[in-house]
Protein backbone atom coordinates (compact mmCIF):
# COMPACT_ATOMS: atom_id res chain seq x y z
CA UNK A 1 0.00 0.00 0.00
CA UNK A 2 1.15 3.55 -0.72
CA UNK A 3 1.75 5.54 2.45
CA UNK A 4 2.46 9.23 3.04
CA UNK A 5 6.10 10.24 2.79
CA UNK A 6 7.69 12.37 5.48
CA UNK A 7 8.83 14.71 2.69
CA UNK A 8 6.00 14.44 0.15
CA UNK A 9 6.96 14.24 -3.51
CA UNK A 10 4.76 13.85 -6.57
CA UNK A 11 4.69 10.34 -8.02
CA UNK A 12 5.56 9.73 -11.72
CA UNK A 13 3.02 10.11 -14.53
CA UNK A 14 3.83 7.84 -17.49
CA UNK A 15 1.32 9.68 -19.71
CA UNK A 16 3.50 12.79 -19.69
CA UNK A 17 6.32 10.77 -21.25
CA UNK A 18 3.94 9.53 -23.96
CA UNK A 19 2.69 13.04 -24.75
CA UNK A 20 6.21 14.48 -24.83
CA UNK A 21 7.33 11.74 -27.23
CA UNK A 22 4.25 12.29 -29.46
CA UNK A 23 5.04 16.01 -29.65
CA UNK A 24 8.73 15.39 -30.26
CA UNK A 25 8.19 12.86 -33.07
CA UNK A 26 5.39 14.85 -34.71
CA UNK A 27 2.82 12.11 -34.10
CA UNK A 28 0.72 14.89 -32.60
CA UNK A 29 0.73 18.03 -34.71
CA UNK A 30 -0.84 21.06 -33.14
CA UNK A 31 -2.61 21.00 -29.80
CA UNK A 32 -2.74 18.20 -27.28
CA UNK A 33 -6.48 17.51 -26.87
CA UNK A 34 -7.85 15.42 -24.02
CA UNK A 35 -11.37 14.91 -22.71
CA UNK A 36 -13.25 14.07 -19.55
CA UNK A 37 -16.25 11.96 -20.67
CA UNK A 38 -18.60 11.13 -17.77
CA UNK A 39 -21.91 9.39 -18.20
CA UNK A 40 -24.50 11.64 -16.51
CA UNK A 41 -26.03 8.85 -14.42
CA UNK A 42 -24.85 9.77 -10.92
CA UNK A 43 -22.68 11.97 -8.79
CA UNK A 44 -18.93 12.04 -9.32
CA UNK A 45 -16.57 10.61 -6.69
CA UNK A 46 -12.87 10.94 -5.85
CA UNK A 47 -11.91 8.48 -8.60
CA UNK A 48 -13.50 10.84 -11.12
CA UNK A 49 -11.71 13.76 -9.46
CA UNK A 50 -8.39 12.10 -10.26
CA UNK A 51 -9.47 11.68 -13.91
CA UNK A 52 -10.61 15.32 -14.10
CA UNK A 53 -7.29 16.53 -12.68
CA UNK A 54 -5.40 14.22 -15.03
CA UNK A 55 -7.16 15.17 -18.27
CA UNK A 56 -7.50 18.89 -17.63
CA UNK A 57 -4.06 19.02 -15.98
CA UNK A 58 -2.26 17.41 -18.94
CA UNK A 59 -4.01 19.75 -21.37
CA UNK A 60 -2.95 22.76 -19.28
CA UNK A 61 0.63 21.56 -18.93
CA UNK A 62 1.07 21.13 -22.67
CA UNK A 63 -0.88 24.28 -23.66
CA UNK A 64 -3.67 22.21 -25.17
CA UNK A 65 -7.34 21.91 -24.35
CA UNK A 66 -9.61 19.49 -22.54
CA UNK A 67 -13.20 18.84 -23.56
CA UNK A 68 -16.04 18.05 -21.21
CA UNK A 69 -18.22 15.52 -23.03
CA UNK A 70 -21.27 13.83 -21.59
CA UNK A 71 -21.48 10.27 -22.92
CA UNK A 72 -25.25 10.24 -22.76
CA UNK A 73 -26.00 7.09 -24.76
CA UNK A 74 -28.16 5.37 -22.12
CA UNK A 75 -31.44 7.29 -21.75
CA UNK A 76 -32.76 5.10 -18.92
CA UNK A 77 -30.19 6.20 -16.33
CA UNK A 78 -29.31 9.76 -17.32
CA UNK A 79 -30.73 12.97 -15.90
CA UNK A 80 -30.17 16.71 -16.33
CA UNK A 81 -29.59 16.91 -12.54
CA UNK A 82 -26.41 14.86 -12.98
CA UNK A 83 -25.26 16.95 -15.95
CA UNK A 84 -25.50 20.08 -13.80
CA UNK A 85 -23.80 18.55 -10.76
CA UNK A 86 -20.90 17.25 -12.91
CA UNK A 87 -20.34 20.69 -14.42
CA UNK A 88 -20.35 22.19 -10.92
CA UNK A 89 -17.81 19.60 -9.74
CA UNK A 90 -15.41 20.25 -12.63
CA UNK A 91 -15.60 24.01 -12.11
CA UNK A 92 -15.13 23.65 -8.35
CA UNK A 93 -11.95 21.65 -8.96
CA UNK A 94 -10.63 24.70 -10.80
CA UNK A 95 -10.96 23.64 -14.43
CA UNK A 96 -12.68 25.26 -17.40
CA UNK A 97 -13.69 23.62 -20.66
CA UNK A 98 -14.38 27.02 -22.27
CA UNK A 99 -16.48 26.51 -25.42
CA UNK A 100 -15.68 22.79 -25.51
CA UNK A 101 -18.79 21.34 -23.88
CA UNK A 102 -20.15 18.41 -25.88
CA UNK A 103 -22.68 15.58 -25.68
CA UNK A 104 -22.51 12.23 -27.43
CA UNK A 105 -26.19 12.86 -28.23
CA UNK A 106 -25.05 15.79 -30.42
CA UNK A 107 -23.52 13.16 -32.70
CA UNK A 108 -26.41 10.66 -32.83
CA UNK A 109 -27.25 11.38 -36.47
CA UNK A 110 -23.65 11.13 -37.66
CA UNK A 111 -23.05 7.97 -35.61
CA UNK A 112 -26.19 6.47 -37.13
CA UNK A 113 -25.08 7.33 -40.68
CA UNK A 114 -21.72 5.68 -40.03
CA UNK A 115 -23.55 2.58 -38.80
CA UNK A 116 -25.40 2.47 -42.12
CA UNK A 117 -22.03 2.78 -43.88
CA UNK A 118 -20.71 -0.21 -41.90
CA UNK A 119 -23.74 -2.20 -43.06
CA UNK A 120 -23.12 -1.17 -46.69
CA UNK A 121 -19.47 -2.21 -46.31
CA UNK A 122 -20.52 -5.64 -45.01
CA UNK A 123 -19.08 -4.87 -41.56
CA UNK A 124 -22.30 -4.78 -39.53
CA UNK A 125 -25.54 -6.77 -39.46
CA UNK A 126 -28.89 -6.86 -37.71
CA UNK A 127 -29.13 -9.80 -35.34
CA UNK A 128 -32.55 -11.09 -34.29
CA UNK A 129 -31.46 -13.58 -31.65
CA UNK A 130 -32.80 -13.21 -28.13
CA UNK A 131 -30.56 -11.72 -25.47
CA UNK A 132 -30.08 -15.20 -24.00
CA UNK A 133 -29.12 -16.67 -27.39
CA UNK A 134 -26.62 -13.87 -28.01
CA UNK A 135 -25.04 -14.50 -24.61
CA UNK A 136 -24.89 -18.25 -25.13
CA UNK A 137 -23.46 -18.09 -28.65
CA UNK A 138 -20.85 -15.53 -27.63
CA UNK A 139 -18.94 -18.26 -25.79
CA UNK A 140 -16.55 -17.53 -22.96
CA UNK A 141 -12.83 -17.27 -22.28
CA UNK A 142 -12.34 -20.99 -22.95
CA UNK A 143 -15.03 -21.53 -25.61
CA UNK A 144 -15.05 -19.79 -29.04
CA UNK A 145 -18.24 -18.05 -30.07
CA UNK A 146 -20.68 -19.25 -32.71
CA UNK A 147 -21.82 -17.21 -35.67
CA UNK A 148 -25.36 -15.90 -35.45
CA UNK A 149 -27.77 -17.48 -37.95
CA UNK A 150 -28.49 -13.89 -39.06
CA UNK A 151 -24.83 -13.02 -39.70
CA UNK A 152 -25.16 -13.74 -43.41
CA UNK A 153 -28.10 -11.42 -44.05
CA UNK A 154 -27.75 -9.33 -47.18
CA UNK A 155 -26.78 -5.66 -47.06
CA UNK A 156 -30.25 -4.75 -48.33
CA UNK A 157 -32.06 -6.75 -45.62
CA UNK A 158 -29.79 -5.34 -42.91
CA UNK A 159 -30.34 -1.77 -44.07
CA UNK A 160 -34.10 -2.30 -44.25
CA UNK A 161 -34.25 -3.79 -40.74
CA UNK A 162 -31.96 -1.13 -39.27
CA UNK A 163 -34.00 1.71 -40.75
CA UNK A 164 -37.19 0.13 -39.43
CA UNK A 165 -35.53 -0.20 -36.01
CA UNK A 166 -34.97 3.55 -36.13
CA UNK A 167 -38.57 4.12 -37.25
CA UNK A 168 -39.82 2.37 -34.11
CA UNK A 169 -41.42 -0.64 -35.81
CA UNK A 170 -39.93 -3.18 -33.40
CA UNK A 171 -40.03 -3.76 -29.67
CA UNK A 172 -37.06 -3.72 -27.36
CA UNK A 173 -34.98 -6.88 -27.67
CA UNK A 174 -36.37 -7.87 -31.08
CA UNK A 175 -33.27 -6.77 -33.00
CA UNK A 176 -29.80 -5.40 -32.36
CA UNK A 177 -27.10 -4.13 -34.68
CA UNK A 178 -23.72 -5.86 -34.33
CA UNK A 179 -20.29 -5.31 -35.84
CA UNK A 180 -19.14 -8.20 -38.02
CA UNK A 181 -15.63 -8.92 -36.76
CA UNK A 182 -14.63 -12.36 -35.44
CA UNK A 183 -16.69 -14.71 -33.25
CA UNK A 184 -13.55 -16.82 -32.70
CA UNK A 185 -11.48 -13.94 -31.33
CA UNK A 186 -9.70 -14.60 -28.01
CA UNK A 187 -10.77 -11.07 -27.05
CA UNK A 188 -14.44 -11.29 -26.03
CA UNK A 189 -14.92 -7.62 -26.98
CA UNK A 190 -14.20 -8.46 -30.62
CA UNK A 191 -16.86 -11.20 -30.93
CA UNK A 192 -19.28 -9.16 -33.01
CA UNK A 193 -19.88 -6.48 -30.38
CA UNK A 194 -23.19 -4.62 -30.17
CA UNK A 195 -23.43 -1.29 -31.97
CA UNK A 196 -27.11 -0.42 -31.41
CA UNK A 197 -30.03 -1.59 -29.30
CA UNK A 198 -33.70 -0.58 -29.20
CA UNK A 199 -34.60 1.52 -26.14
CA UNK A 200 -38.00 3.18 -26.12
CA UNK A 201 -37.06 5.62 -23.39
CA UNK A 202 -37.17 9.40 -23.11
CA UNK A 203 -33.73 10.98 -23.49
CA UNK A 204 -32.83 13.97 -21.30
CA UNK A 205 -31.77 16.01 -24.36
CA UNK A 206 -33.21 14.46 -27.53
CA UNK A 207 -36.58 13.61 -26.00
CA UNK A 208 -38.39 10.91 -27.99
CA UNK A 209 -36.61 11.55 -31.30
CA UNK A 210 -34.67 8.29 -31.06
CA UNK A 211 -35.72 4.80 -30.09
CA UNK A 212 -32.40 3.18 -30.93
CA UNK A 213 -29.23 4.15 -29.10
CA UNK A 214 -25.55 3.48 -29.84
CA UNK A 215 -23.53 1.43 -27.39
CA UNK A 216 -20.90 3.30 -25.39
CA UNK A 217 -18.03 1.30 -26.93
CA UNK A 218 -19.17 2.31 -30.42
CA UNK A 219 -20.10 5.95 -29.77
CA UNK A 220 -17.06 6.74 -27.66
CA UNK A 221 -14.22 6.34 -30.21
CA UNK A 222 -16.28 8.08 -32.89
CA UNK A 223 -16.99 11.01 -30.57
CA UNK A 224 -13.27 11.22 -29.77
CA UNK A 225 -12.48 11.26 -33.48
CA UNK A 226 -15.05 13.96 -34.28
CA UNK A 227 -13.56 16.14 -31.57
CA UNK A 228 -9.99 15.47 -32.75
CA UNK A 229 -8.97 14.08 -29.36
CA UNK A 230 -5.26 13.22 -29.43
CA UNK A 231 -5.03 11.27 -26.16
CA UNK A 232 -8.12 9.36 -25.06
CA UNK A 233 -7.29 8.45 -21.46
CA UNK A 234 -9.32 5.85 -19.57
CA UNK A 235 -8.94 3.33 -16.77
CA UNK A 236 -7.43 -0.15 -17.10
CA UNK A 237 -10.71 -2.03 -17.37
CA UNK A 238 -11.00 -0.60 -20.90
CA UNK A 239 -7.67 -2.08 -22.00
CA UNK A 240 -9.38 -5.10 -23.60
CA UNK A 241 -11.79 -2.71 -25.33
CA UNK A 242 -8.97 -0.91 -27.14
CA UNK A 243 -8.92 -3.26 -30.20
CA UNK A 244 -12.58 -2.44 -30.80
CA UNK A 245 -11.88 1.28 -30.24
CA UNK A 246 -9.22 1.06 -32.96
CA UNK A 247 -11.50 -1.02 -35.21
CA UNK A 248 -14.19 1.68 -35.08
CA UNK A 249 -11.71 4.44 -35.89
CA UNK A 250 -10.19 2.44 -38.77
CA UNK A 251 -13.45 1.22 -40.33
CA UNK A 252 -15.46 4.44 -40.25
CA UNK A 253 -14.50 7.55 -42.29
CA UNK A 254 -13.75 9.68 -39.22
CA UNK A 255 -11.83 12.98 -39.49
CA UNK A 256 -9.06 12.02 -37.02
CA UNK A 257 -7.36 8.99 -35.47
CA UNK A 258 -7.35 9.26 -31.69
CA UNK A 259 -5.48 6.73 -29.58
CA UNK A 260 -6.62 5.22 -26.29
CA UNK A 261 -4.30 5.02 -23.26
CA UNK A 262 -5.14 3.27 -20.01
CA UNK A 263 -4.09 4.02 -16.45
CA UNK A 264 -4.83 2.28 -13.16
CA UNK A 265 -8.09 3.29 -11.50
CA UNK A 266 -7.82 4.74 -8.02
CA UNK A 267 -8.54 2.38 -5.13
CA UNK A 268 -8.40 3.85 -1.63
CA UNK A 269 -8.52 2.47 1.88
CA UNK A 270 -11.64 3.12 4.01
CA UNK A 271 -13.73 3.96 0.92
CA UNK A 272 -16.38 2.35 -1.21
CA UNK A 273 -16.64 3.97 -4.65
CA UNK A 274 -19.06 1.64 -6.38
CA UNK A 275 -21.97 3.76 -7.58
CA UNK A 276 -24.36 0.92 -6.77
CA UNK A 277 -23.14 0.64 -3.19
CA UNK A 278 -23.11 4.39 -2.64
CA UNK A 279 -26.71 4.46 -3.90
CA UNK A 280 -27.55 1.79 -1.30
CA UNK A 281 -26.20 4.03 1.48
CA UNK A 282 -28.32 6.94 0.22
CA UNK A 283 -31.52 4.93 -0.32
CA UNK A 284 -31.28 3.19 3.05
CA UNK A 285 -30.67 6.59 4.71
CA UNK A 286 -27.39 5.44 6.21
CA UNK A 287 -26.06 8.82 5.07
CA UNK A 288 -27.96 12.07 4.63
CA UNK A 289 -27.54 12.15 0.84
CA UNK A 290 -25.01 12.18 -1.99
CA UNK A 291 -23.41 15.27 -0.44
CA UNK A 292 -23.13 13.82 3.07
CA UNK A 293 -19.67 14.98 4.24
CA UNK A 294 -18.68 11.35 4.91
CA UNK A 295 -19.33 10.31 1.30
CA UNK A 296 -16.44 9.98 -1.21
CA UNK A 297 -18.41 12.02 -3.76
CA UNK A 298 -16.97 15.34 -4.92
CA UNK A 299 -20.09 17.07 -3.57
CA UNK A 300 -19.54 15.26 -0.25
CA UNK A 301 -15.89 16.25 0.20
CA UNK A 302 -16.73 19.79 -0.92
CA UNK A 303 -19.35 20.07 1.80
CA UNK A 304 -16.95 18.45 4.28
CA UNK A 305 -14.57 21.35 3.61
CA UNK A 306 -11.87 19.77 1.46
CA UNK A 307 -10.44 22.39 -0.90
CA UNK A 308 -10.01 22.02 -4.67
CA UNK A 309 -6.32 22.85 -4.23
CA UNK A 310 -5.89 19.89 -1.87
CA UNK A 311 -7.64 17.50 -4.29
CA UNK A 312 -5.40 18.68 -7.14
CA UNK A 313 -2.37 18.30 -4.88
CA UNK A 314 -3.51 14.77 -4.00
CA UNK A 315 -3.92 13.82 -7.69
CA UNK A 316 -0.33 14.90 -8.38
CA UNK A 317 0.98 13.27 -5.21
CA UNK A 318 -0.33 9.80 -6.10
CA UNK A 319 0.71 10.05 -9.75
CA UNK A 320 -0.48 7.92 -12.67
CA UNK A 321 0.51 4.27 -12.96
CA UNK A 322 -0.23 1.30 -15.22
CA UNK A 323 -0.71 -1.20 -12.41
CA UNK A 324 -3.40 -1.30 -9.74
CA UNK A 325 -2.53 -0.26 -6.20
CA UNK A 326 -4.32 0.82 -3.05
CA UNK A 327 -3.82 4.41 -1.92
CA UNK A 328 -3.87 5.14 1.80
CA UNK A 329 -6.62 7.59 2.75
CA UNK A 330 -3.99 9.26 4.98
CA UNK A 331 -2.34 10.65 1.82
CA UNK A 332 -5.50 12.55 0.90
CA UNK A 333 -5.94 13.82 4.45
CA UNK A 334 -2.33 14.97 4.58
CA UNK A 335 -2.82 16.95 1.34
CA UNK A 336 -5.92 18.58 2.84
CA UNK A 337 -4.02 19.31 6.06
CA UNK A 338 -1.05 20.82 4.19
CA UNK A 339 -3.24 23.23 2.26
CA UNK A 340 -5.34 24.21 5.26
CA UNK A 341 -2.25 24.81 7.39
CA UNK A 342 -1.16 27.33 4.74
CA UNK A 343 -4.54 29.04 4.33
CA UNK A 344 -6.96 28.43 7.22
CA UNK A 345 -7.90 31.35 9.46
CA UNK A 346 -7.01 30.69 13.09
CA UNK A 347 -9.76 30.79 15.70
CA UNK A 348 -10.59 29.33 19.09
CA UNK A 349 -13.52 27.07 19.87
CA UNK A 350 -14.38 25.13 23.01
CA UNK A 351 -16.35 21.99 22.17
CA UNK A 352 -16.88 20.69 25.72
CA UNK A 353 -16.99 23.87 27.82
CA UNK A 354 -16.32 24.26 31.51
CA UNK A 355 -16.64 27.73 33.03
CA UNK A 356 -13.66 29.51 34.58
CA UNK A 357 -14.32 32.54 36.81
CA UNK A 358 -11.29 34.81 37.22
CA UNK A 359 -11.78 36.17 40.69
CA UNK A 360 -9.21 38.98 40.63
CA UNK A 361 -10.90 40.62 37.66
CA UNK A 362 -13.71 43.13 38.33
CA UNK A 363 -17.30 42.46 37.27
CA UNK A 364 -17.93 43.57 33.70
CA UNK A 365 -14.24 43.51 32.78
CA UNK A 366 -13.67 43.32 29.03
CA UNK A 367 -10.28 43.61 27.39
CA UNK A 368 -9.66 43.14 23.69
CA UNK A 369 -6.58 41.07 22.93
CA UNK A 370 -5.18 41.37 19.41
CA UNK A 371 -3.69 38.34 17.72
CA UNK A 372 -3.07 37.22 14.14
CA UNK A 373 -5.61 35.59 11.83
CA UNK A 374 -2.75 33.47 10.47
CA UNK A 375 0.72 33.26 12.03
CA UNK A 376 2.54 33.25 8.66
CA UNK A 377 0.24 35.37 6.52
CA UNK A 378 0.21 38.93 7.82
CA UNK A 379 -1.98 40.05 4.88
CA UNK A 380 -4.96 38.41 6.62
CA UNK A 381 -4.56 40.91 9.45
CA UNK A 382 -5.50 40.52 13.11
CA UNK A 383 -8.51 39.43 15.11
CA UNK A 384 -9.76 40.65 18.51
CA UNK A 385 -10.40 38.28 21.40
CA UNK A 386 -12.59 39.65 24.23
CA UNK A 387 -11.02 38.66 27.56
CA UNK A 388 -13.59 38.76 30.35
CA UNK A 389 -14.07 37.77 33.97
CA UNK A 390 -15.69 34.52 32.89
CA UNK A 391 -14.18 32.32 30.18
CA UNK A 392 -14.66 28.77 28.94
CA UNK A 393 -11.94 26.18 28.62
CA UNK A 394 -12.35 22.63 27.37
CA UNK A 395 -13.22 20.05 30.01
CA UNK A 396 -10.37 17.90 28.68
CA UNK A 397 -7.92 20.63 29.78
CA UNK A 398 -8.74 20.20 33.48
CA UNK A 399 -8.00 17.26 35.73
CA UNK A 400 -8.72 17.19 39.44
CA UNK A 401 -6.18 14.49 40.30
CA UNK A 402 -3.58 14.62 37.55
CA UNK A 403 -0.47 12.49 37.05
CA UNK A 404 2.94 14.15 37.44
CA UNK A 405 3.39 14.69 33.70
CA UNK A 406 0.07 16.58 33.27
CA UNK A 407 0.70 20.20 32.30
CA UNK A 408 -2.81 21.53 31.85
CA UNK A 409 -5.02 22.99 34.56
CA UNK A 410 -5.51 21.29 37.93
CA UNK A 411 -6.13 22.49 41.52
CA UNK A 412 -3.29 24.76 42.70
CA UNK A 413 -1.58 24.61 39.28
CA UNK A 414 -1.09 27.20 36.56
CA UNK A 415 -1.70 27.21 32.84
CA UNK A 416 -1.43 29.83 30.13
CA UNK A 417 -4.56 30.89 28.23
CA UNK A 418 -3.51 31.06 24.57
CA UNK A 419 -2.66 34.65 23.51
CA UNK A 420 -3.77 35.88 26.95
CA UNK A 421 -2.68 35.39 30.57
CA UNK A 422 -1.46 32.76 32.98
CA UNK A 423 -4.22 31.60 35.36
CA UNK A 424 -4.05 29.52 38.55
CA UNK A 425 -6.86 27.26 39.78
CA UNK A 426 -7.93 28.15 43.34
CA UNK A 427 -11.22 26.29 43.75
CA UNK A 428 -13.28 23.58 42.06
CA UNK A 429 -17.11 23.86 42.10
CA UNK A 430 -19.17 20.70 41.58
CA UNK A 431 -22.86 19.98 41.20
CA UNK A 432 -24.87 17.53 43.33
CA UNK A 433 -23.70 14.60 41.20
CA UNK A 434 -20.05 15.48 41.76
CA UNK A 435 -19.50 16.76 38.22
CA UNK A 436 -17.12 19.73 37.93
CA UNK A 437 -19.15 22.71 36.68
CA UNK A 438 -16.94 25.71 37.45
CA UNK A 439 -13.36 26.60 38.27
CA UNK A 440 -12.40 29.63 40.37
CA UNK A 441 -9.07 31.02 39.25
CA UNK A 442 -6.80 34.06 39.46
CA UNK A 443 -4.84 35.56 36.59
CA UNK A 444 -1.33 36.97 36.53
CA UNK A 445 -1.64 40.46 34.95
CA UNK A 446 2.01 40.69 33.80
CA UNK A 447 1.83 37.60 31.55
CA UNK A 448 -0.23 38.92 28.62
CA UNK A 449 0.54 37.42 25.22
CA UNK A 450 3.26 35.02 26.34
CA UNK A 451 5.20 37.43 28.58
CA UNK A 452 7.10 35.73 31.40
CA UNK A 453 6.02 35.69 35.02
CA UNK A 454 7.59 38.32 37.29
CA UNK A 455 9.48 35.75 39.37
CA UNK A 456 10.58 33.67 36.39
CA UNK A 457 8.51 30.55 37.20
CA UNK A 458 7.88 28.26 34.24
CA UNK A 459 4.35 27.58 33.01
CA UNK A 460 4.43 24.72 30.50
CA UNK A 461 0.78 24.23 29.61
CA UNK A 462 -1.14 26.34 27.09
CA UNK A 463 -4.89 25.88 26.59
CA UNK A 464 -7.45 27.47 24.29
CA UNK A 465 -10.42 29.43 25.63
CA UNK A 466 -13.23 31.79 24.71
CA UNK A 467 -15.05 34.50 26.65
CA UNK A 468 -18.09 33.03 28.41
CA UNK A 469 -20.03 36.29 28.14
CA UNK A 470 -18.94 37.37 24.66
CA UNK A 471 -18.87 34.26 22.48
CA UNK A 472 -20.91 32.52 19.77
CA UNK A 473 -22.91 29.31 20.19
CA UNK A 474 -22.70 26.84 17.32
CA UNK A 475 -23.41 23.26 16.37
CA UNK A 476 -20.21 21.39 15.53
CA UNK A 477 -20.23 18.13 13.57
CA UNK A 478 -17.16 15.98 14.14
CA UNK A 479 -16.79 13.59 11.22
CA UNK A 480 -14.75 10.40 11.22
CA UNK A 481 -14.29 7.88 8.42
CA UNK A 482 -17.51 6.29 7.21
CA UNK A 483 -16.04 2.78 7.44
CA UNK A 484 -14.14 1.34 10.39
CA UNK A 485 -11.90 -0.99 8.36
CA UNK A 486 -9.42 -0.31 5.56
CA UNK A 487 -11.12 -2.69 3.11
CA UNK A 488 -14.88 -2.28 3.68
CA UNK A 489 -15.83 -4.64 0.85
CA UNK A 490 -13.87 -7.55 2.28
CA UNK A 491 -16.60 -9.36 4.22
CA UNK A 492 -17.33 -13.04 4.95
CA UNK A 493 -19.78 -14.89 2.70
CA UNK A 494 -23.35 -13.94 3.45
CA UNK A 495 -22.41 -10.58 4.95
CA UNK A 496 -22.86 -7.15 3.45
CA UNK A 497 -20.27 -4.35 3.18
CA UNK A 498 -22.53 -2.26 5.42
CA UNK A 499 -21.47 -4.33 8.46
CA UNK A 500 -18.23 -2.33 8.26
CA UNK A 501 -19.91 1.05 8.67
CA UNK A 502 -18.45 3.09 11.51
CA UNK A 503 -21.20 3.75 14.06
CA UNK A 504 -19.13 6.67 15.37
CA UNK A 505 -18.56 8.41 12.04
CA UNK A 506 -20.53 11.47 13.18
CA UNK A 507 -20.63 13.17 16.56
CA UNK A 508 -22.87 16.23 16.86
CA UNK A 509 -22.00 18.84 19.49
CA UNK A 510 -24.98 21.14 19.95
CA UNK A 511 -23.61 23.92 22.17
CA UNK A 512 -19.99 24.52 21.32
CA UNK A 513 -18.62 27.93 22.33
CA UNK A 514 -16.73 29.84 19.64
CA UNK A 515 -14.77 33.06 19.66
CA UNK A 516 -16.93 36.09 18.87
CA UNK A 517 -15.40 36.82 15.46
CA UNK A 518 -16.76 33.55 14.07
CA UNK A 519 -20.25 35.04 14.02
CA UNK A 520 -19.10 36.52 10.69
CA UNK A 521 -17.53 33.29 9.40
CA UNK A 522 -17.63 32.96 5.61
CA UNK A 523 -18.56 29.86 3.64
CA UNK A 524 -15.49 30.12 1.44
CA UNK A 525 -13.07 30.20 4.39
CA UNK A 526 -11.62 27.33 6.36
CA UNK A 527 -10.76 27.71 10.03
CA UNK A 528 -8.21 26.07 12.26
CA UNK A 529 -9.83 25.77 15.67
CA UNK A 530 -6.56 25.94 17.55
CA UNK A 531 -5.60 22.68 19.26
CA UNK A 532 -8.83 21.10 17.94
CA UNK A 533 -8.83 20.66 14.14
CA UNK A 534 -9.77 22.25 10.81
CA UNK A 535 -13.39 23.30 10.33
CA UNK A 536 -15.71 25.04 7.88
CA UNK A 537 -19.31 26.20 7.75
CA UNK A 538 -21.76 23.56 6.54
CA UNK A 539 -22.93 24.82 3.14
CA UNK A 540 -26.40 23.33 3.55
CA UNK A 541 -27.46 23.67 7.18
CA UNK A 542 -25.54 26.65 8.57
CA UNK A 543 -27.52 29.89 8.83
CA UNK A 544 -26.72 33.32 10.36
CA UNK A 545 -27.54 33.06 14.05
CA UNK A 546 -27.61 29.24 13.84
CA UNK A 547 -24.10 28.34 12.76
CA UNK A 548 -23.12 24.77 11.90
CA UNK A 549 -19.45 23.86 11.48
CA UNK A 550 -18.07 20.64 10.01
CA UNK A 551 -14.74 19.19 11.00
CA UNK A 552 -12.75 18.94 7.78
CA UNK A 553 -9.79 17.01 9.17
CA UNK A 554 -7.87 16.56 12.40
CA UNK A 555 -4.74 18.62 13.10
CA UNK A 556 -2.70 15.42 12.87
CA UNK A 557 -3.58 11.92 11.78
CA UNK A 558 -4.84 9.68 14.56
CA UNK A 559 -4.86 6.61 12.30
Sorted by sequence, the CB contacts under 8 Å of residue 430 that are 6+ apart come out as 436, 437
The SS3 assignment for 375 reads coil
Q: Are 488 and 499 in contact (CB under 8 A)?
A: no
Q: Are 534 and 555 in contact (CB under 8 A)?
A: yes
Residue ranges for the known binding site for L-glutamine are: 71, 216
Q: In whole angstroms, how far apart are CA 207 and each of 76, 154, 202, 251, 385? A: 12, 32, 5, 30, 60
Residue ranges for the known binding site for ATP are: 39-41, 45-51, 235, 273-275
Residue 479, beta-bridge partner list: 506
Candidates 16, 39, 138, 277; catalytic one: 39
Candidates 265, 355, 408, 426; catalytic one: 265
Residue ranges for the known binding site are: 39-41, 45-51, 71, 216, 235, 273-275
The SS3 assignment for 288 reads coil
Name the DSSP class of 1: -
Q: Is 516 labeled as catalytic in the residue annotation?
A: no
Candidates 200, 275, 408, 413; catalytic one: 275
Q: Is 136 labeled as catalytic in the residue annotation?
A: no
CA dihedral (423, 364, 439, 406) in degrees, to 10, reads -30
Q: Which residue from 505, 509, 513, 537 is spatially nearest to 523, judged by alpha carbons?
A: 537
Q: Is 76 labeled as catalytic in the residue annotation?
A: no
Q: Are 470 and 514 in contact (CB under 8 A)?
A: no
Sorted by sequence, the CB contacts under 8 Å of residue 420 that are 6+ apart come out as 369, 385, 387, 448, 449, 465
Distance CA 535, CA 530 (A): 10
The SS3 assignment for 116 reads helix
- Using H for helix, E for strand and C for coil, what is the string for 448-466? HHHCCCCCCCCCCCEECEE
The SS3 assignment for 237 reads helix
Q: Which residue from 50, 483, 13 is spatially nearest to 266, judged by alpha carbons?
A: 50
Give kind and range of the element (H or E) at residue 195. Answer: strand 194-198
Looking at the annotation, which residues are catalytic? 39, 265, 275
Amino acid sequence: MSKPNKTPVDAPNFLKQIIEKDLETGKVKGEVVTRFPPEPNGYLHLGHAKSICLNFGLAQEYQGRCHLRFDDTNPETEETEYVESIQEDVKWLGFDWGVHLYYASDYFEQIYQWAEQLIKDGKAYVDSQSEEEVRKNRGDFTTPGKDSPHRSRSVEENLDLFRRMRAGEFEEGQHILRAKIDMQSPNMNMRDPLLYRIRKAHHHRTGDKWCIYPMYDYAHPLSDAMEHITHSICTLEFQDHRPFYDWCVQNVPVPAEPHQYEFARMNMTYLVMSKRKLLQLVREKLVSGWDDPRMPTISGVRRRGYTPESIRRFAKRIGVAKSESIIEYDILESCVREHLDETAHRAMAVLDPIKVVIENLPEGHKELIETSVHPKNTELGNRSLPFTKEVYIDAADFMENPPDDYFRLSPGKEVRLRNAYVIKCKEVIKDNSGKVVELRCEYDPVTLGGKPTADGRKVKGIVHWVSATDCVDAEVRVYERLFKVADPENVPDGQDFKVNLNANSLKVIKNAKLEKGLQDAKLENRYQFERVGYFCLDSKDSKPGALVFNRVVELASSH
